[in-house]
């Protein structure tokens, strides 16, 4: 009888919140309710995440571990390390204060060399002469998802402090700064923008992470920069669906499944590649939506606003829908 007393609650628990068995498939997930979700690492490999797992108190969640990798047209394939507080690391690099500054930030369980970073970096340098800084925050981004979420604000603050130091000591123009962050990285750049007192010219959130970010004061928002935009591709699952920016784009309805995808992880990962394609081609034309329902149904027919692209001084407001293709360049 004692065995039955233990067994029945276990059955009830598993029935109410089952562990999903198909890697990458998040069809079971209910935002704010479900305990488990599949999340990709930087190579797109799915990992089962327990959203109820407490953060580890043993892990170092400090943004002091950030590494700043500079790429320019003179070193497009090999980064130069910039060190906060070390002006010689900048003077001995190819950093040019008169050029636009693009900053790319990866998501959970990823690193500076993860696939999205060279893809976006190469796209930027193909169309413009610029300083591209890839932020490697892999020490905080690895491990338990909940721990990484708790580390996002400090990672963002350190990035913001680095940018303030860089521009004050090596030159630059806040209007020419563009921060680009994917998933958790979208919230990192939001916190960086806040640290810079909203002076960043443009911030782009690529499917900003959704789990544990509802009503989270540290999430990306429209006040973090002069112009803030988000591209939603897996809204309600791995990404946030609600509008959080000046301009929010909902390609193909902004949710799973995106064209050519079979599951949530693919839809989530589509955002950085849509952005990289937009930088090279600038061919995605969003049409303004009357409301979120119209965006979800991809039935928008209002004024045009281009999704993504390489412009620094971009402006616009509203919700925008559009259709893309299944394969590159989409």
Which of the residues 234, 268, 277, 278 is marked catalytic? 268
In order of 40, 103, 170, 224, the CA distances from 173 in angstroms are 35, 14, 11, 17
Which of the residues 41, 154, 207, 224 is marked catalytic? 207
Name the burial class of residue 3, with classes exposed (0-12), middle (13-18) and buried (19+) by CB atoms within 10 angstroms of its CB: exposed
Residue labelled with tokens 């020419």: 176
**C-alpha closest to that of 116 among 314, 277, 310, 323:** 277
- Quote the CA–CA distance of 103 and 70 in Å, as a whole number: 9
In order of 12, 159, 191, 241, 295, the CA distances from 125 in angstroms are 55, 22, 26, 31, 32
CB 99 within 8 A of CB 173: no
* Whether 207 is catalytic: yes
Which of the residues 183, 264, 277, 278 is marked catalytic? 183
* Whether 268 is catalytic: yes
**C-alpha closest to that of 31 among 264, 320, 245:** 264
The DSSP call for residue 179 is E
What's the chain's length in residues?
330
- Quote the CA–CA distance of 135 and 154 in Å, as a whole number: 14
Known catalytic residues are: 183, 207, 268
């Amino acid at each position: 009888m004692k065995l039955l007393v233990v067994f029945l609650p276990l059955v009830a628990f598993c029935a109410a919140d089952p562990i999903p068995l198909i890697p990458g498939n998040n069809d079971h997930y209910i935002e704010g309710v479900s305990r488990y979700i599949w999340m990709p690492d930087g190579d797109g490999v799915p990992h089962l995440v327990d959203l109820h797992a407490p953060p580890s108190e043993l892990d170092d969640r400090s943004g002091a571990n950030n590494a700043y990798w500079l790429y320019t047209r003179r070193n497009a394939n090999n980064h130069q390390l910039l060190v906060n507080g070390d002006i010689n690391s900048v003077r001995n690099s190819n950093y040019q204060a008169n050029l636009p500054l693009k900053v790319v930030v990866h998501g959970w369980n990823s690193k500076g060399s993860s696939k999205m970073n060279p893809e976006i970096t190469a796209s930027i340098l193909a169309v413009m002469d610029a300083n591209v800084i890839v932020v490697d925050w892999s020490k905080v981004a690895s491990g338990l998802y909940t721990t990484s979420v708790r580390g996002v604000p400090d990672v963002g603050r350190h990035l913001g402090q680095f940018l303030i130091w860089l521009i004050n000591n090596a030159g630059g123009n806040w209007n020419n700064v563009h921060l680009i962050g994917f998933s958790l990285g979208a919230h990192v750049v939001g916190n960086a923008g806040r640290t810079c007192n909203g002076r960043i010219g443009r911030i782009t959130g690529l499917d900003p992470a959704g789990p544990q970010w509802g009503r989270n004061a540290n999430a990306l928002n429209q006040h973090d920069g002069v112009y803030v935009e988000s591209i939603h591709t897996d809204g309600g699952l791995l990404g946030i669906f609600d509008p959080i920016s000046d301009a929010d784009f909902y390609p193909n309805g902004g949710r799973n499944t995106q064209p050519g995808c079979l599951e949530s992880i693919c839809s989530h990962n589509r955002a950085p590649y849509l952005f990289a394609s937009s930088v090279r081609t600038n061919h995605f034309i969003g049409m303004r939506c009357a409301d979120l329902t119209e965006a979800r149904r991809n039935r928008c027919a209002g004024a045009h606003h281009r999704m993504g692209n390489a412009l620094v001084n971009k402006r616009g407001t509203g919700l925008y829908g559009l259709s893309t293709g299944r394969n590159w360049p989409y």
